[in-house]
Structure 1
Amino acid sequence: MFEYQAPADLLKDKVILVTGAGSGIGRTAAITFAAHGATVVLLGRTLEKLENVYDEIEAAGYPQPALVPLNLESAQEHDYIELTNTLDQEFGRIDGILHNASILGVRTPIESYDPVIWQQVMQVNLNAPFMLTQTLMPLLQQSDDASVVFTSSSVGRQSKAYWGAYAASKFATEGLMQTLADETSGICNIRANCINPGATRTQMRSDAYPAENPQSVTAPEDIMPAYLYLMGKDSATVNGQSLDAQ
């Protein structure tokens, strides 16, 4: 998978929603999916960042993307319903979701973890992917081959001291993915998997390891083979798995 060579038209005519599409891995994934033929729905909280990604995709001559400014921390059920109705009217289906948006919270002992920050992390990292997936299920069911990709972490498999809400949210994400995968297995064309990006050159990584040289970790572009693999037809039989991008 690390050496996966995606066909140029791997995602041709597919509609794929990417959360956290304004920067980091989400930005790179959105551009990469578009480069392989997908119409990408760019979801994020900062309109300016989304517009920059939109312009980059258009300038490259890739399929015209769509913009969805949405703050996952404050979004309510009616926001997800409105989003689903809009996507239904525009596209009639969704072929893929990359749940990429996450926040780190703070790295501190459990005994001193701020409950407000804990709730914020859970809202963005766990509750939002649940709500978004649930409301988009009717559109995923309209796809011949729908792939839902959740973002995990090494500390979502084996935690470490001081990773608090972030680690807990990623453990829960793994469970959410496994539940969805088992529920859809054999009864519809939806598959669900997790991807662990590993140490990647992003702002979150810099926040978590401020003393680290960013150039010493992998660039987002270099982990895209795994993302393409999970979104494309070559992983059609892969369901309920947690894969490493590095």
Structure 2
Amino acid sequence: MDTDFSYSPASDLLQERVILITGAGGGLGGALAQACAALGATVVLSGHTVRKLEATYDCIVEARGPQPAILPMNLMTATWAEYEAFAASLEQNFGRLDGLVHAAAHFKGFSRLEDLEPREWLDSLQVNLTAPYALTRLCLPLLRKSADASVIQVTDEGGRKVRAYNGIYGIAKRAAEALANGFALELKHEANLRFNTVDPGPMRTALRARGYAAEVLHDVPLPETRLSRLLWLLGGDARGISGRAF
């Protein structure tokens, strides 16, 4: 868990960068989108609930950040053709990507593996593993057009250590770690591409509340306090760093 990283980004750290963030309708994704815009980035907000994406959009506009874009996508039901159309829209509207953050996650609750419903197995794999692969794979041509492109997989402790009752969520997160490492190794000769994973630690989000219903939420840090490492990795200060698990 990487929660003690202290970093003060320059006010123009992400100036003129185009950054796609999934799960941008709230939680870590929404907080990160607003922080990126405050540092000069044009943020592409993606998620499946347009109303929530619009709320993040409004916050960015009200703070006078660069005008963001909304590109909805239901990662749980998306087909390969829809992913292709998504990437084509990015190409048409922006021409490149300088950052891609896989912050979207699906978690229904803790359970024993033997009790998992087949639907939950498939849904979790789709959102937590297939989506990061599909988006990274199809956005690679856009990332290659950047002088310094950063891809970040948001993970958690369950993706770093096998734990009982983490169910398919833990398995999918562990596989997503391997996915990011695989891209980093295979594309290490392309110095302008970097792939890293970040465990931001416990946060006060709706996702966490599903697994820790008895937890006192006010004792859990807000997502806004867990952004330092992510911002550092998205900017030029982390140029050349790839294949790391923070």
Measured against the shorter chain, the TM-score band is over 0.9
Return the TM-score normalized by structure 2.
0.97
Determine whether 1:39 maps to 2:56. no
Tell whether 2:157 aligns with 1:145.
no
User: Once superposed, which parts of structure 1, at least 4 consecutive aligned residues long, lie more than 3 Å away?
Assistant: none
* Maintained 8 Å contact 1:105/1:118: no
* 1:206 matched to 2:209: yes
**Match for residue 25 of structure 1 among 7, 25, 28:** 28
1:219 is aligned, of 217, 222, 230, to: 222
Runs of 5+ unmatched residues, structure 2: none
Deviation at residue 43 of structure 1 after TM alignment? 0.1
Q: Could you say which residue in structure 1 is the equivalent of 2:245?
A: 242
The 3-state SS of whatever aligns with 1:69 is: coil
Matches within 5 A, 1:1-246: 2-243=5-246
CA RMSD of aligned residues (A): 0.9
Q: Calculate the TM-score normalised by the size of structure 1.
A: 0.97
Shift of 1:94: 0.3
Count of residues in Structure 1 that have an aligned counterpart in Structure 2: 243
- Report deviation, 1:237: 2.0
For residue 56 of structure 1, report the CA deviation from its aligned partner. 1.0
- Give the Å deviation of 1:160: 1.5
Higher mean alpha-carbon deviation, 82-91 vs 118-127, is at 82-91
Q: Is the 8 A contact 1:105 1:165 kept in 2?
A: no
- 1:2 positional shift: 1.3
CA distance in 2, matches of 1:97, 1:188: 16
Identity %: 41
**Separation in structure 1 between the aligned mates of residue 85 and residue 197 of structure 2, nearest angstrom:** 26
In structure 1, list runs of 5 or more residues that go unmatched: none
Distance 1:50 1:221 in 2: 17
Q: Is the 8 A contact 1:11 1:38 kept in 2?
A: yes
